[in-house]
Amino acid sequence: MKRICIALVACILGLAAPIEAPAAPNVVFVKCGKLIFDAEKPAISNAGVIIIDGKVIAVGANVTAPAGAQQVDLSNYTVLPGLIDAHIHIWSGARNSNVSEGLETLRAQKAMSYALSSGIVAVRVLGTDDFIDVALRDAIDEGTIPGPHMIPAGHAISIPAGHGDHYTYGAKLPMEDYYTPLNGFINSPADAEKAVHLQLKYGARVIKILASGGVLSPLDSPDAEQVSPEELKTIVETAHMLRVKVAAHCENLETILAALHAGVDSIEHGPGMDMEAVNLLKANHTAYVPTVYIVDNILLHGEELHLADYSLRKAHEIGAKEFAAFKLALDNGVFIAAGSDQSYEPGQGTVRDEIITEVKYGATPRQALIFGTLHSAQLLGLDRLLGSVAVGKEGDLVAVEGDPLSDIHALERVRAVVYQGRSVAPANRQ
């Protein structure tokens, strides 16, 4: 009893436990050879960046290291803002492999670690199964696993036998529990509204519509329109009421126009685009995400990638149209964001490849870097945090050997990555 009374008195007097001193701030000084702090502006030579607790507090040519700061010497490299991929999927093993959800998720974790090591600091995931993207986002946000910022879509919205349907089983196999709005499958405007609500309920922060057929799906054609104008309108209105953007996969002109008239926020892919579509994109302030790399890579390497014959055939059917659409949008001032349409299988394609391929098909290196930093940040709603190296923004930097403004292939030679002020082991191609 006496011990209890003493403890109570000590507690009342504030003596029960010592007051812990606040943790010392994490101060990092990064010395840059050349700094592309904003892809729209001239680079700075011999620049310094001060990052405290993950945020930039000073940047410029006359910035020097504070006393006691951790110093990162990138003076031999060109340093640029962390890259942003506006259209990805997530690697979980070989295509159409039948593995457990747990194994898929563990592989997906490895994919997002690879993304961060490649200098990608934010991604928009446009369709996964089982809300794996939401789980990854939550695990990254709480610090359980490393990874970039993620904007997840949950399941992409499709029709049965559409671009989101990869099952070729016989009709006798019961699948009623699979072809549901929860899994993104719709057959009516009512299904469409329910599918949006369910994706958002379980953590999606963008809605993806598979408005046309596509290349890698076995049961459809890129020429096919797969979502009715009424369903498109319902999806967009429902998402916008809840302040969520809508991305539309479109592989033909009719679908592009229907999606634009419905008010989507971005057109993905876009083969077949014409001046009517370009004018609507500009009038509606709609973003265009061309994904030229994936098509180019299939045309060049599809057979060695062991892609199905139907995918090779369809890629050849739309390839020239996709490249022409990109050039048309580029020449007419459409707002373009960079999206790779890659799954981030370790060692494979990333938004770096998309940026490089956009230069191959007509963009200047500066334009392509703008698309992969500032514009993608704006599309993802992360422009207050990412997209440039500026006071108040996150301390995310990528150092490359060479100057991507004169040789865009310098992006393949990543030599250092700094994410939220902390160094990350880089992933390289060369």
Reported as a single tens digit per residue, the pLDDT across 262-309 is 999 999 999 999 999 999 999 999 999 999 999 999 999 999 988 999
Helix residue ranges per DSSP H, 158-289: 189-201, 229-241, 253-262, 275-284
Please tell me the distance from the alpha carbon of residue 340 to that of residue 353, in angstroms, as a whole number: 7
Please tell me the distance from the alpha carbon of residue 430 to that of residue 347, in angstroms, as a whole number: 11
The pTM of the full predicted model, rounded to 2 decimals, is 0.93
State the first-to-last Cα distance of the chain, in angstroms, to the nearest integer. 72
DSSP per position, 19-75 = PPPPPPP-EEEEEEEEE-SSTTS--EET-EEEEETTEEEEEETT--PPTT-EEEEEE
- What are 247's strand-pairing partners? 208, 266
Please tell me the distance from the alpha carbon of residue 42 to that of residue 322, in angstroms, as a whole number: 31
Provide the token pair at 334.
């459409």
pLDDT of residue 155: 98
Which one-letter DSSP state was computed for residue 159?
A: -
Q: ∠397-426-64 over CA atoms, to 5°? A: 35
Please tell me the distance from the alpha carbon of residue 300 to that of residue 297, in angstroms, as a whole number: 5
Of 81, 229, 204, which Cα lies nearest the Cα of 153?
Answer: 204
Please tell me the distance from the alpha carbon of residue 155 to that of residue 289, in angstroms, as a whole number: 19
144 burial (CB, 10 Å; 0-12 / 13-18 / 19+) is exposed
Q: ∠260-261-266 over CA atoms, to 5°? A: 20
Please tell me the distance from the alpha carbon of residue 231 to that of residue 190, in angstroms, as a whole number: 8
Please tell me the distance from the alpha carbon of residue 280 to that of residue 311, in angstroms, as a whole number: 30
Provide the token pair at 428.
């390289």
Say if strands 414-419 and 422-424 run parallel, antiparallel, or are unpaired: antiparallel
Please tell me the distance from the alpha carbon of residue 164 to that of residue 158, in angstroms, as a whole number: 5
Of 328, 327, 326, 324, which Cα lies nearest the Cα of 339?
Answer: 326
How many percent of the chain have pLDDT more than 70? 94
pLDDT of residue 62: 86
Which one-letter DSSP state was computed for residue 16?
A: S
pLDDT of residue 49: 98
Residues of the chain with pLDDT under 50: 1-15
Q: Is 332 helix (H, G, I), strand (E, B) or coil?
A: coil
pLDDT of residue 166: 84
pLDDT, tens only, 9-28: 444 444 455 666 677 889 99
Please name each of the domains of the chain with its CATH number.
27-81+392-424 (2.30.40.10), 83-379 (3.20.20.140)
Sign (positive or negative) of CA dihedral 62, 414, 372, 141: negative
pLDDT of residue 22: 73
Which parts of 43-177 are beta strand (E)? Answer: 44-45, 48-52, 55-60, 70-81, 83-88, 120-125, 149-152
Provide the token pair at 387.
């997209």
Of 427, 372, 398, which Cα lies nearest the Cα of 117?
Answer: 427
86, 247 in Cβ contact below 8 A?
Answer: no
Of 213, 229, 233, which Cα lies nearest the Cα of 156?
Answer: 213
Please tell me the distance from the alpha carbon of residue 334 to that of residue 78, in angstroms, as a whole number: 28
39, 370 in Cβ contact below 8 A?
Answer: yes
Q: Is 230 helix (H, G, I), strand (E, B) or coil?
A: helix
- Residue reference for tokens 């007051």: 19
Q: Is 319 helix (H, G, I), strand (E, B) or coil?
A: helix
372, 84 in Cβ contact below 8 A?
Answer: yes
- What are 248's strand-pairing partners? 209, 267
